[in-house]
Amino acid sequence: MRHTLPIAPQFYVTAPQPCPYLEGRLERKLFTALQGDYASKLNDALSKQGFRRSQNVLYRPSCAECSACLSARIRVADFVPTKSQRRTMRRNGSLVRESTSPWASEDQYELFRKYLDSRHADGGMADMDIFEFAAMVEETPIRSRVVEYTRPGKGRTRGDLAAVCLTDVLDDGLSMVYSFYDPDFHRDSLGTYVILDHIKIAKEAGLPYVYLGYWVPGSAKMSYKARFSSVEIYVDGNWRGLGDPDEFAVGTHPLSTDPIAEQVARINLPDSRPTTGS
């Protein structure tokens, strides 16, 4: 028998598991596969609706009694750095940026392990081996880049790897899938610098947004995202300015999340027909 992929993507829900951001809560995700010639269109469309990519899967939080996780992006044209962010740019001005195809390296994995052991030793990625790391970087059905930041070496030698970001190129922006950096240089605010540099890259490319992932009010791990000007969050099917972060409640309520069937029905899917020349 000949089997073909369904024209419309199929959506599924994960089983509840402990939330990595808010203690004592359970997380649940709505997700769909990202594959075939339709992958780029689907990734572009669903990223605008609060979804994120992880390898060949697109997902969005859909917790039963919590709606704290909010997709965040920066409006590039309206971004104005703070004094602290300008200092961060100057402090890291000597770093050398190199954008490459999504291939994993031993240097990347060594920095990744050092970062996890220092910052997220009890996180979900803590046990990731080099093969799983390679899959995270390389298993992408869309246009992705690995952006590396190195410290200048002597002569023509390559310097030490300071930070890395796995970045997707969308039709309306850059999506920072995952970034990590050398924790020995935490005073240099490398995580902030990588975001600032992606704003610069997006501006030079004429892309209006930099997608940051999820901002979670009440989570210290995610508080840094609210420090960037012109941040938008995805709420009730629309993007809006963040405003005052303290105005967002993190309480749970059984009616805070719509039924899965209603959520799926409201997802706007792109035209799956192949593009033809004129």
DSSP string covering 143-182, please?
Answer: -EEEEEEE---STTS---EEEEEEEEE-SSEEEEEEEEE-
Predicted confidence at residue 241, as pLDDT, reads: 95
Predicted confidence at residue 133, as pLDDT, reads: 95
Predicted confidence at residue 278, as pLDDT, reads: 40
DSSP string, 194-249: HHHHHHHHHHHHT--EEEEEEE-TT-GGGGGGGGSTTEEEEETTEEEE---GGG--
Predicted confidence at residue 125, as pLDDT, reads: 73
Predicted confidence at residue 277, as pLDDT, reads: 45
Rounded CA-CA distance 51/230 in Å is 20
Predicted confidence at residue 220, as pLDDT, reads: 84
Query: b/e map of 233-264 (b: 16 or more CB within 10 Å)?
Result: bbeeeebeebeeeeebeeebeeeebeeeeebb
The answer to whether 151 and 99 have CB atoms below 8 angstroms apart is no
Predicted confidence at residue 274, as pLDDT, reads: 53
- For the chain, 278 residues long, give each residue's pLDDT as a single digit of tens: 444 445 578 999 999 999 988 889 999 999 999 988 889 999 999 999 999 999 999 999 999 888 899 999 999 999 999 999 999 999 999 999 999 999 999 999 999 999 988 876 566 677 889 999 999 999 999 999 999 999 986 544 456 999 999 999 999 999 999 999 999 998 999 999 999 999 999 999 999 999 999 999 888 888 899 999 999 999 989 999 998 888 887 777 777 788 899 999 999 999 866 554 44
Predicted confidence at residue 162, as pLDDT, reads: 96
Ordered by where they begin, the domains of the chain are 11-70+250-265 (no CATH), 72-247 (3.40.630.30)
